[in-house]
Structure 1
Amino acid sequence: MRTPLITRKGFRQLQQELDHLWRVDRPETTKKVTWAASLGDRSENADYQYNKKRLREIDRRIRYLSKSIENLKVVDYSPEQDGYVFFGAWVEIENEQGKTLRIQIVGYDEIFTRKDCISIDSPMARALLKKQVDDEAEVRTEAGHFVWLIKSIEYEK
């Protein structure tokens, strides 16, 4: 089960996506379906079939976003977090081979649109939580055991 947390920025993005789907995408697609249906035989009408499928996808996404937004808890920055890794932190880490990553710990719904984020439920995030700069985080996954050194911790204020 995933943790129902989200950053303020991520919450705004989900709201904007939902608003865009309702006010722009769905009305446009509905018009296209209506126009294509008026042409006659729907079984051989590619425009009708495609836009009907697109409308189902839009409705599915609207239902998902509506439910998600209702259940999510927005987590804002708090000064008590400074110096430690918690939800919303930007963490720069380095492995034993010298590879450096800069990642943000965010909610599940935020990880799909960005490459520099990890879910709060991931093994990496769980290993980093409550650590400080210069602490080592041991990450155990199916791929193996990895050790990462925390180089810096920042928060968007």
Structure 2
Amino acid sequence: MSKAFTKETDADDDEDLALPPLPAGGKNYITPAGYARLKSELLDLIDNERPKVVEVVHWAASNGDRSENGDYHYGKKRLREIDRRIRFLTKRLEIAEISDPAVHHGNDQVFFGATVTYADESGAAQTVTILGIDEADSGLNQVSWISPIARALLKARVGDEVKLATPGGLKDIEIMEVSYPPPASA
């Protein structure tokens, strides 16, 4: 029998994505805004996107021969992707610990949620915001609280010099400014 007529396994598609690692004994900190974004994505997948794909797969299956039905095969693959993402988001939201950075507004010490401006040995300044691993976006100068730069900055104060471990060796960086979002008005 030709290889073309054997059933392919979908084992690769069904494997759960590994969760990004947390430090031993660490918590999955997330800001209220980050938690809301993840929850919104989860609800959208469950309430909107998944039912639409199920409808397409049902329609495609009702057309008869599924062996050459692109809508059916793509739909089934998309359903697996959606279900995998739903499982991932559900697990992450279950272990999330919401931490509101606004409680530190006006503080000059670096904690979770801080926006920190620091200067390296050459005087070049950079600004980063320390967020949860599920919400940090490096394109927006956001770093995970478990990243090397965040670990170096945490608990330091404005004016402190800290050592940052880089692949090129230790670098001294000085904290220039620390800010937090203002508390939400009630």
TM over 0.5: yes
Partner of 2:61: 37
- Following the alignment from structure 1 to structure 2, what is the Cα–Cα distance between the partners of residues 146 and 32? 55
Per the alignment, do residues 113 and 140 of structure 1 end up closer, same or farther by CA in structure 2, a change over 3 Å counting? Answer: closer
Residue pairs, 1:58-137, within 5 angstroms: 58-76=82-100, 77-79=102-104, 82-112=107-137, 115-137=140-162
Question: Do the aligned residues in 1 keep the contact of 2:106 with 2:179 (CA within 8 Å)?
Answer: no
Letter in 2 for 1:110: E
More strand by share: 1
Of 42-51 and 142-151, deviating more is: 142-151
Q: Per the alignment, in what secondary structure is the counterpart of residue 138 of structure 1?
A: strand
- Return the index of the structure with the highest Cα Rg: 2
- Root-mean-square deviation (CA, aligned residues, Å) is 1.8
Unaligned ranges ≥5, structure 1: none
Q: Deviations over 1:16-71 (max 9, x none)?
A: 11111111111111111111112222221111111111111111111111111111
Identity %: 43
Q: Per the alignment, in what secondary structure is the counterpart of residue 140 of structure 2?
A: coil
Question: Do the aligned residues in 1 keep the contact of 2:104 with 2:180 (CA within 8 Å)?
Answer: no
Partner of 2:70: 46
Partner of 1:150: 175
Unaligned ranges ≥5, structure 2: 1-20
Of 35-44 and 78-87, deviating more is: 78-87
Partner of 2:166: 141
- Following the alignment from structure 2 to structure 1, what is the Cα–Cα distance between the partners of residues 43 and 166? 38
Counterpart of 1:8 (choices 22, 32, 39) is 32
**What TM-score, normalized to structure 1?**
0.91
Question: Do the aligned residues in 1 keep the contact of 2:114 with 2:178 (CA within 8 Å)?
Answer: yes
Question: Do the aligned residues in 1 keep the contact of 2:149 with 2:164 (CA within 8 Å)?
Answer: yes
Cα displacement (A) at 1:80: 8.0
Partner of 2:81: 57
Question: Do the aligned residues in 1 keep the contact of 2:105 with 2:181 (CA within 8 Å)?
Answer: no
Per the alignment, do residues 70 and 79 of structure 1 end up closer, same or farther by CA in structure 2, a change over 3 Å counting? Answer: same
How many pairs does the alignment contain?
157
